Amino acid sequence: MKLLSRKAMCNTHGQDSSYFLGWQEYENNPFDEVQNRNGIIQMGLAENQLSFDLLESWLANNPDVAGFKRDGNSIFRELALFQDYHGLPSFKKALVEFMAEIRGNRVTFDPSRIVLTAGATSANETLMFCLAEAGEAFLLPTPYYPGFDRDLKWRTGAEIVPIHCTSSNGFQITASALEEAYQEAEKRNLRVKGVLVTNPSNPLGTTMTRNELNLLIKFITAKNIHLISDEIYSGTVFKHSPRFVSVMEVLKDRDYDKTEVWNRVHIVYSLSKDLGLPGFRVGAIYSNDDMVVAAATKMSSFGLVSSQTQYLLSALLSDKKFTKNYISENQKRLGKRQRMLVMGLQKAGISWLESNNAGLFCWVDMRHLLHSNTFEEEMELWKKIVYDVGLNISPGSSCHCSEPGWFRVCFANMSEATLNLAMQRLTDFVAEYSTANGHKRLHHSSKNSKKTSLTLPDKWLIRRLNWIRKIQKWLSRHLNWIEKIQNGC
Ligand SMILES: Cc1ncc(COP(=O)(O)O)c(C=O)c1O
């Protein structure tokens, strides 16, 4: 007799993906600036540790809030008993105002349309339960956040059908890719219930263009399906970069709020990234559809946000002076960090998705380090980088990327000194690779190698490669433009 259920045992959870395996390897030998300088540096974790000092100083200046007091009086008993799954009204109001502020107040949100959940993980799963039966599908552009296999499929029984995006146009969504995914689902006898996107994208670290958003709106209108926009990184955009545009803004601008499409667009949000508080488990669903709000509210019993967390954060987010400064300063720090990372990559002769303007990571192109253009080779390279170089980065295959050789590299969960060390390790690795055998297989142990620099022929090759990629990007931009004209957007 089987002791556990099929659900508990089935592997749609994705626990054995290299994304999670990398975390395990890191746990076995974690880098520490003092205790373990040869350990693995964690660059596979999208955590924002850059602005904790701002939060800590707010807490120090507001001791009553952390001590569960209001006007000097304890509200401990009130908080201990509160368990209404509609959430604290003061917190919902503060949260929607924060979401609007992040969007430059170009859109506003109604607190009665927000459903609180234990993080975006719970928000995505709850929405999936509300919108799809087991065996129905959502289309997701690739590469996508590896956690979605767990969050969207595992317990709901819903399916994910990939919308294959490629480097030829910077991984942007196209009309043909959307249509192909739809047809692929039909071929598999899966009814398509919607499209789910992350904007800004994890793992690409880019915001969606208005063209892409228009394309999505047109597609879900034509197919009569839903759109979920996971905007967990909406405030995590680098200063002086192209700004984030929410699908809600585009819908409003184009008067879609007066059409039935309006009710089929749902936003997922969380404070895990923009405030760097994944441990607090604060997420939300925002929907324009009354029935979705009502159903999701009932389901939120399975993943409520604790009342003391709501109380603390309602006070913090209601402090407008604080939030304004926090958003701006955090974006400045993120931009500075990203520049540090890409300068390190440049030094190592590695390129990255240049449209990177958001997120806690860079989408890094190591195709030139593959012996052959296969996912097996990508895994070989990944193992080398984890075990020999001592960096845990996430391979593109774990994000369902259709091209081998891309990796997600995080930069905001460590100190500047650790990031510099990580980039030095990577530079040394590439140099060794180049001097050892050009584009052939890598040496087995790079641990005891001496530092070497790139040879002239290698530098020449890298320059040529970058030049060809620039031409490729230029061509794909023009193809995109032609496609836009054909689609009439
Ligand atoms: C796109 C995306 N959605 C959801 C999540 C889950 O976030 P949370 O910690 O709020 O559950 C993540 C976390 O990395 C993410 O990147």
State the DSSP code for 153: I
Q: Count Cβ atoms below 10 Å from residue 481 Cβ, excluding itself.
A: 11
**Most ligand 1 atoms within 8 A of CB, residue of 272, 281, 300 to mutate:** 272
Note whether 123 and 269 are within 8 A (CB): yes
Taking only the tens place, the pLDDT of each residue in 113-137 is 999 999 999 999 999 999 999 999 9
With a 6 A CB cut-off, is 398 part of the ligand 1 pocket? no
Q: Is the CB of 205 under 6 A from ligand 1?
A: no
Q: How far is the CA of 368 from the centre of ligand 1 (A)?
A: 30
Predicted pLDDT at 452: 34
Same fold, 6-47+332-456 and 82-318: no
Provide the pLDDT for residue 483.
Answer: 60
Contact 230 CB / ligand 1 (< 6 Å): yes
- In this predicted structure, what is the pLDDT of residue 458? 52
Domain map of the chain by residue range? Answer: 6-47+332-456, 82-318
- Confidence band of 11 (pLDDT split at 50, 70, 90): confident
Q: Which DSSP symbol is given to 259?
A: S
Q: How confident is the model at residue 489 (pLDDT cuts 50, 70, 90)?
A: very low
User: Annotated active-site positions, please?
Assistant: 145, 230, 232, 273
Residue 443 confidence class, pLDDT cut points 50, 70, 90: very low
Predicted confidence (pLDDT) at residue 173 exceeds the cutoff of 60:
yes
What's residue 445's pLDDT?
Answer: 36
Report how far residue 252's alpha carbon sits from residue 246's, in angstroms, rounded to the nearest whole number.
Answer: 10
- Tell how far the Cα of 120 is from the centroid of ligand 1, in angstroms: 5
Helices (H), 188-289: 210-223, 247-253
Tokens 């995590």, residue located:
236
Output the pLDDT for position 197. 98
Kindly report the CATH number that applies to the domain delimited by 82-318. Answer: 3.40.640.10
Does the beta carbon of 202 sit less than 6 angstroms from any atom of ligand 1? yes
How far apart CA 384 and CA 22 sit, in angstroms, is: 12
According to CATH, what is the number of the domain 6-47+332-456?
3.90.1150.10
Task: Give yes or no for residue 200 CB within 6 A of ligand 1.
Answer: no
Report whether pLDDT(479) > 70. Answer: no
> Cα(286)–Cα(273) distance, rounded to whole angstroms?
17
Q: How far is the CA of 232 from the centre of ligand 1 (A)?
A: 7
Q: For ligand 1, atom 7, which residue shows the shortest CA distance?
A: 120
Span 296-306, pLDDT tens digits: 999 998 999 99
State the distance from the centre of ligand 1 to the C-alpha of 62, rounded, in angstroms: 29
| Ligand 1 lined by 276 (C-beta under 6 Å) | no
Q: pTM of the predicted model, to two decimals?
A: 0.88
Tokens at residue 187, please?
A: 């071929």
What's the pLDDT at 433? Answer: 83
Q: Say yes or no to pLDDT of 18 above 70.
A: yes
pLDDT attached to residue 484: 58
**CA of 361: how far to CAs of 175, 334, 481, 485, in Å?**
27, 10, 28, 32
